[in-house]
Amino acid sequence: MKNQIHLKKISTLPNLNITKEKAEIEMIKLTKKLAQIQDKLYAQNKYSVLIILQGMDTAGKDSAVKHVFSGVNPAGCNVKSFKAPSSQEGSHHFLWRISKECPVKGMIKIFNRSHYEDILTPLIHDKMSKESLNERCKEINAFEKGLINDYTIYLKFYLHISHAEQLNRLEARKTDSTKNWKYQKNDVKEIAKHDNFKNAYEFIFKKCSEKAKWNIIPADKKWFKNYLILKTIIEHLEKYKIIYPKLVD
């Protein structure tokens, strides 16, 4: 397949000529701009926005939600974090719990992890055949096509972190009292599978990019990760005619 993404060839460090200080200034401007777009989006009630955040453990998905969407009106934006399926969720089709969380018109929805965990987890732990995984990918492509056809503006982000930075952040979870609550013993085992996760994500990029491309975000520097996500969201939303509705007599 053309344009296949190879993570080993992509740096996890900032890939734009911008300093931390300049990025922080730009973040203020971009945050205001996103708030303005969101206000129009809510009033227009034509489009919905769905933002997918994927990445290995410690990649910074939670902090992206906190910083990127800090200026958005909570009435027009909400977040859903997907963890391991409950017994009820597991008894349904794997997209059941996803579809019922998709945003209504006028709303921005952020998925912290998503249906891609239902490809990633069985692939990493060898719990499903490649044939079955391929079928799931086809269903995801059809699902995403349906959302886009129904005026959902769809953005997918992979937060690309190095193994060394993962280990640094895991150590911080053990030693920083404000981060202790995030630490789990199983994290050590999962982070040790860094290369396996990269291979699994490359499989996802290859199989699930028909209607919405993946944005690979260097994530070793949190300030740059947050800046680039916000910048990319703004650039994408500005392609659409999101306006305040006119007064109807």
**Does some domain include residue 166?**
yes
Mean of the per-residue pLDDT values of the chain: 95
Residue-level pLDDT at 137: 97
Residue 3 pLDDT > 90? no
Tens of pLDDT, residues 5-25: 999 999 999 999 999 999 999
Cα 7 from Cα 182, distance rounded (Å): 26
Total length of the chain: 249
Residue-level pLDDT at 57: 94
Residue 78 pLDDT > 90? yes
247/117: higher pLDDT: 117
**Does some domain include residue 242?**
no
**Does some domain include residue 67?**
yes
Residue-level pLDDT at 166: 95
Cα 64 from Cα 124, distance rounded (Å): 25
User: What domain range includes position 117?
Assistant: 7-237
CATH number at residue 233: 3.40.50.300
- Band of the pLDDT at 48, cuts 50, 70, 90? very high
Cα 166 from Cα 238, distance rounded (Å): 34
**Does some domain include residue 77?**
yes
**Does some domain include residue 2?**
no
Q: Kindly give the pairing relationship between strand 77-81 and strand 48-55.
A: unpaired
Q: Are 217 and 160 in contact (CB under 8 A)?
A: yes
Cα 161 from Cα 41, distance rounded (Å): 32
- Band of the pLDDT at 2, cuts 50, 70, 90? low
Those residues with Cβ within 8 angstroms of residue 118's Cβ, 6 or more apart along the chain or in another chain: 94, 136
**Does some domain include residue 168?**
yes
- Band of the pLDDT at 1, cuts 50, 70, 90? very low
CA angle 182, 186, 191 (to 5 degrees): 90
Those residues with Cβ within 8 angstroms of residue 59's Cβ, 6 or more apart along the chain or in another chain: 159, 160, 161, 166, 219
- Band of the pLDDT at 49, cuts 50, 70, 90? very high
Cα 26 from Cα 39, distance rounded (Å): 20
**Does some domain include residue 32?**
yes
If one counts the domains in the chain, the total is 1
Tens of pLDDT, residues 173-215: 888 888 888 888 777 788 899 999 999 999 999 999 988 999 9
Both tokens of 159, joined, read 């937060």
Both tokens of 22, joined, read 């300049």
According to DSSP, residue 212 is labeled S
What pTM did the predictor assign? Answer: 0.95
**Does some domain include residue 189?**
yes
According to DSSP, residue 153 is labeled E
